[in-house]
Chains A and B, each alone.
Chain A
Amino acid sequence: MSDQTIARTRPVGAGLGVFLGLTLLGLLAIMWLALSIETTTFWTANNIANLLRQTAFIAILAIGQTFVIITGGIDLSVGAVEGFISMIVALLLTNDLGFASTITGAVTISLLIGVGIGLFHAFGVVQMGLPPFIMTLSTMYALRGIGLLITNGATISITNDAFTNFSRTSFLGFPWTDGSWFQIPSLVWMVVLVAVPSHVFLNHSRWGRYLFAIGSNKEAARLSGVNVKAITYVAYVLCSLFAAFVGVLLATRIGIGNPTQGQGDELQSIASSVIGGASLFGAVGSVHGPVIGALILQTISNGANLLNVNSFWQTIITGALIIIVVYFDSLRRRKR
């Protein structure tokens, strides 16, 4: 092979294969096309905006989840963090605690608590040597319990309209195919806000490289001068921070705080990650992959609703899709 060929290729070799990316986009296109033909309600500015809003939550969770998965770990607590933080932000906003009860204060504190949870996870994994599965499973249970203790099982309604209006807002737009105006939901911009820096972080910063190195071989990474502990902390903190951010966004969308919110989202985020090409063995993953994965999952659920498909089928289809995607991916890997 000539030097030129070598020079032109990208040096990471660990991100999402272009092949898989195109396959997923193709799959998405086929699903959208089929739904547009089959139903009159799918391809409307309203429904697509709605679909994107629903996708936003899982997409952000899945990006954080992917960081952890790339290091070879897993975070089962993201759904619980999301619910817990929705309660925290609701509590802060409905009480009169000065700065902490302003929107800026409440959101900042909520995100900081997310960081704290992430630090705790990393502490368990790095310092106590617990398996990530166990560590985050424990906090998943614990956070739900703590939340219920604090609220006594009650749901907190958020009365701050400025806060709850956010998820209904939009920014910019473009003419839709039927001539109506498509307003890009603010929640979609929130995904962009998270995804773009995440992509730069993962693919163009050295800490991103180190995540891959740790997921591939901790020992080799350590012997190469990578601060494995610090990078592991970064992965878990980012994951919990993103989950906390989703908790805040969720509170704006539904206007209530309840620690039982977000149940099952941890599995949806893992599924999005995996459909998006991440490997649970570590060292493989991207930022756009889980976003597309989340979009595919939401499309299944949205489309099934519009087609009046029994909702039980949605979960069956999701399960089947995960097996198919992972199987094709393992075929591709075996060939190499």
Chain B
Amino acid sequence: MTHLNSPATVEPAAGAPILVLEKLDKRFGGTHALKAVDLAFDEGEIHAIVGENGAGKSTLIKLLTGVHPRSSGAVYWRGKAVPLANPHEAIGLGINAVHQEVVLCPHLTVAGNIFLGDEEMRAGLLDHKRMVRDGQKLLDDLGFSLPADVILSSLTIGQQQLVATARAERRGAKFLIFDEPTAYLTRQEAAALFTLIRRLKANGVTIVYISHRLEEVFELCDRVSVLRDGALVGTRLIGDTNEADLIALMINRTIEQIYYKDSIPVGAAILETEKLSGDGFRDISIKVREGEIVGLYGLIGAGRSEFVQSVFGRHPASSGRISWQGRDVSIRNERQAMDLGIALAPESRRDQGLCLNLGVGFNLNLPIFKRLSLGPLINGSKEVRAADRQIRDVQIKTAAQTALVSSLSGGNQQKVVIGKWLNHGAKLFIFDEPTVGVDVGTKAEIYRLLASLLKEGAGIIMISSYLPEVYELADTLHVFRGGSIVASHNHRDASHETILSEAIGV
């Protein structure tokens, strides 16, 4: 499959345009998410869309699949203007999307999901047997080794994604959008998916392929369009471009401008673990000192999150030693961790980090209400001032401190999480994927925040699946694989390729 895209191929991207976007525009309140995008998708091509987080890719998908109505502009399907007002209409035209986060019913069987909304019937009743049989045949035909009769939630996310693809295939999709399809897939699963995508293309299906992984774009796609800050900044034939070219288009600034790193003197050790083992990780020994960032890199499921959760007292370690500022401690619950001075900005902001339907000020003050109280009662003006100062210090863009956190952008939400812990006065900050879903500008701001934490003598553990980030920022970088540290590096002392192969294990 690797030879499919030699750069010399002048395989014209198939037929006439099947879907044309004209000045497509979308605003969410004050946010201009998509700015007058003109784009034409040719029938039977694989068209990649790349861009930083927050560049407008997901908004574009949501407009194309009818999830959100557009603010202005026009969409033509086979030359005919279409409103795309709801998902039903999009599916009716043959526009389907396979999302990164699977949107299926976890309690139904695989077959039940494939046939959902279009069940096979016999005498007015569901024909389960036939659906399982036909579903199995479909899965086999597609080359997925998946059973059709198991409950969906028993599969991995990667496998569920394949089920979603099979479902779209069955619906007779003519225009199929893949949103980061390989994010959670194993290599074999990804290979099976690519084979499927090529087969779909051969059958005349138009594919829109959205991915952060540029190597996949070059392997699979015919053309690539780049979005930046909601605007289309260019469309290239894949043979006419290269990775550096695309990255320059995507971020419009140099690496140095984004990654901000002061030389901060490293001080005394804050946290040391020695052969710490627990559920999902074993024999982890790391040391975090004042003024340094310790990066933990690895693939999803490599044990990094489990390890830091354990340090934070979530699931106490089964063996090994933790020492805090030179003193042996056992951290049995989160409260203890927080009292020591450990703060955790969790991976899933929405699930664990924030009270979304409460105010910005409320969230910032949540860990420190005790400090803002006189006896049992909260000092209202102190509370307002504390939140106010934090909003200014961390530069959270919000209309008021009573504004709900859910009304903020992803980046500003992340700033609330960080501001919350700054308020708490922690000594060791654990950031689990601090810049997921955050645009480049906000990323740079978050990195500056990290630097200011370090200056004040804090230490940072940063978990990231985004290699450039840990690579550029971490003073010490530990590579995780299968629950263990397989390699450790000093700042930029190994190449990206080396670190990546250590993480993957090839």
Contact across chains for B355 and A212 when beta carbons are under 8 A apart:
yes
Q: Tell me which residues from 201 to 232 in chain A have a Cβ below 8 Å from any Cβ of chain B.
A: 204-207, 209-210, 212-213, 216-217, 219-227
Contact across chains for A205 and B376 when beta carbons are under 8 A apart:
yes
Q: Which interface residue of B360, B362, B387, B392 has the most chain A CB atoms within 10 A?
A: B362
Which residues from chain A contact B334 at a C-beta distance below 8 Å?
222-223, 225
Q: Is B71 an interface residue (CB 8 A)?
A: no
- Report the separation of the CA atoms of residues A246 and B361 in the bound assembly, to the nearest whole angstrom: 36
- Report the separation of the CA atoms of residues A10 and B357 in the bound assembly, to the nearest whole angstrom: 15
Q: Tell me which residues from 168 to 214 in chain A have a Cβ below 8 Å from any Cβ of chain B.
A: 200, 204-207, 209-210, 212-213
Contact across chains for A9 and B369 when beta carbons are under 8 A apart:
no
- Report the separation of the CA atoms of residues A205 and B378 in the bound assembly, to the nearest whole angstrom: 5
Which residues from chain A contact B392 at a C-beta distance below 8 Å?
3
Which residues from chain A contact B353 at a C-beta distance below 8 Å?
220, 223
Q: Is B83 an interface residue (CB 8 A)?
A: no
Contact across chains for A223 and B346 when beta carbons are under 8 A apart:
yes
Q: Is B506 an interface residue (CB 8 A)?
A: no
Given the known interface contacts A11-B380, A13-B403, A225-B367, the answer about A220 and B355 at a Cβ–Cβ threshold of 8 Å is yes
Q: Which interface residue of A209, A217, A283 has the most chain B CB atoms within 10 A?
A: A217
Q: Is B22 an interface residue (CB 8 A)?
A: no
Contact across chains for A206 and B370 when beta carbons are under 8 A apart:
yes
Given the known interface contacts A1-B399, A217-B355, the answer about A206 and B378 at a Cβ–Cβ threshold of 8 Å is yes
- Closest CB in chain B relative to A302 CB, distance in Å: 35
Q: Which interface residue of A10, A12, A200, A220 has the most chain B CB atoms within 10 A?
A: A220
Contact across chains for A225 and B420 when beta carbons are under 8 A apart:
no
Over the window 14-56 of chain A, the binary record of Cβ atoms lying under 8 Å from chain B Cβ atoms (1 yes, 0 no) is: 1000000000000000000000000000000000000000000
Contact across chains for B366 and A9 when beta carbons are under 8 A apart:
no
Q: Tell me which residues from 166 to 196 in chain B have a Cβ below 8 Å from any Cβ of chain A.
A: none
Q: Is B6 an interface residue (CB 8 A)?
A: no
Q: Is A287 an interface residue (CB 8 A)?
A: no
Q: Tell me which residues from 309 to 336 in chain A have a Cβ below 8 Å from any Cβ of chain B.
A: 336
- Report the separation of the CA atoms of residues A3 and B384 in the bound assembly, to the nearest whole angstrom: 11
Contact across chains for B338 and A220 when beta carbons are under 8 A apart:
no
Instruction: Identify the closest chain A residue to B392 (Cβ).
Output: A3
- Report the separation of the CA atoms of residues A96 and B344 in the bound assembly, to the nearest whole angstrom: 59
Contact across chains for A207 and B354 when beta carbons are under 8 A apart:
no
Contact across chains for B352 and A14 when beta carbons are under 8 A apart:
no
Which residues from chain B contact A9 at a C-beta distance below 8 Å?
384, 400-402
Given the known interface contacts A225-B367, A336-B407, the answer about A3 and B357 at a Cβ–Cβ threshold of 8 Å is no
Q: Tell me which residues from 378 to 431 in chain B have a Cβ below 8 Å from any Cβ of chain A.
A: 378, 380, 383-385, 387-388, 391-392, 399-404, 407, 420, 424
Contact across chains for B352 and A223 when beta carbons are under 8 A apart:
yes
- Report the separation of the CA atoms of residues A13 and B408 in the bound assembly, to the nearest whole angstrom: 14
Contact across chains for A224 and B420 when beta carbons are under 8 A apart:
yes
Contact across chains for A13 and B402 when beta carbons are under 8 A apart:
yes
Instruction: Identify the closest chain A residue to B359 (Cβ).
Output: A13
Given the known interface contacts A1-B399, A12-B402, the answer about A213 and B384 at a Cβ–Cβ threshold of 8 Å is no
Q: Is A5 an interface residue (CB 8 A)?
A: yes
Given the known interface contacts A3-B388, A206-B376, A206-B378, the answer about A13 and B352 at a Cβ–Cβ threshold of 8 Å is no
Q: Which interface residue of B334, B356, B369, B407 has the most chain A CB atoms within 10 A?
A: B369
- Report the separation of the CA atoms of residues A225 and B384 in the bound assembly, to the nearest whole angstrom: 20
Instruction: Identify the closest chain A residue to B382 (Cβ).
Output: A11
Give the total of A residues in contact with B, Cβ under 8 Å. Answer: 34
Contact across chains for A12 and B369 when beta carbons are under 8 A apart:
no
Q: Is A7 an interface residue (CB 8 A)?
A: yes
- Closest CB in chain A relative to B381 CB, distance in Å: 9
Which residues from chain B contact A10 at a C-beta distance below 8 Å?
380, 384, 402
Q: Which interface residue of B351, B357, B404 has the most chain A CB atoms within 10 A?
A: B357
Partner of A209, one of B354, B356, B362, B420: B362
Q: Is B365 an interface residue (CB 8 A)?
A: yes
Q: Is A128 an interface residue (CB 8 A)?
A: no
- Report the separation of the CA atoms of residues A221 and B334 in the bound assembly, to the nearest whole angstrom: 11
- Report the separation of the CA atoms of residues A305 and B383 in the bound assembly, to the nearest whole angstrom: 48
Q: Is B358 an interface residue (CB 8 A)?
A: yes
Partner of A220, one of B354, B380, B385: B354
Contact across chains for B367 and A224 when beta carbons are under 8 A apart:
yes
- Closest CB in chain A relative to B94 CB, distance in Å: 31
Partner of B357, one of A207, A224, A284: A284
- Report the separation of the CA atoms of residues A1 and B372 in the bound assembly, to the nearest whole angstrom: 25
Partner of A219, one of B351, B387, B401: B351
Q: Is B335 an interface residue (CB 8 A)?
A: yes
Which residues from chain B contact A200 at a C-beta distance below 8 Å?
377
Partner of B402, one of A11, A209, A219: A11
Q: Is B154 an interface residue (CB 8 A)?
A: no
Partner of A1, one of B346, B366, B385, B400: B400
Partner of B385, one of A7, A14, A223, A227: A7
Instruction: Identify the closest chain B residue to A206 (Cβ).
Output: B369
Given the known interface contacts A207-B376, A222-B334, A336-B407, the answer about A13 and B358 at a Cβ–Cβ threshold of 8 Å is yes
Which residues from chain B contact A213 at a C-beta distance below 8 Å?
355, 358, 362, 366
Given the known interface contacts A205-B378, A206-B373, A225-B338, the answer about A6 and B357 at a Cβ–Cβ threshold of 8 Å is no
- Report the separation of the CA atoms of residues A225 and B383 in the bound assembly, to the nearest whole angstrom: 17
- Report the separation of the CA atoms of residues A213 and B335 in the bound assembly, to the nearest whole angstrom: 16
Q: Tell me which residues from 252 to 296 in chain A have a Cβ below 8 Å from any Cβ of chain B.
A: 283-284
- Report the separation of the CA atoms of residues A220 and B363 in the bound assembly, to the nearest whole angstrom: 9
A9-B402, A217-B352, A220-B353 given; name 7 further pairs at CB < 8 Å.
A10-B380, A11-B365, A13-B402, A13-B404, A206-B376, A213-B355, A220-B355
7 cross-chain CB contacts under 8 A: A13-B360, A205-B373, A209-B366, A213-B355, A216-B357, A220-B354, A336-B407
Which A residues lie at the B interface, using CB under 8 A? 1, 3, 5-7, 9-14, 200, 204-207, 209-210, 212-213, 216-217, 219-227, 283-284, 336
Which B residues lie at the A interface, using CB under 8 A? 334-335, 338, 344, 346, 351-363, 365-367, 369-370, 372-373, 376-378, 380, 383-385, 387-388, 391-392, 399-404, 407, 420, 424
**Nearest 10 pairs between A and B by C-beta?**
A13-B359, A216-B355, A13-B402, A206-B369, A224-B366, A11-B361, A224-B367, A219-B352, A217-B355, A9-B402
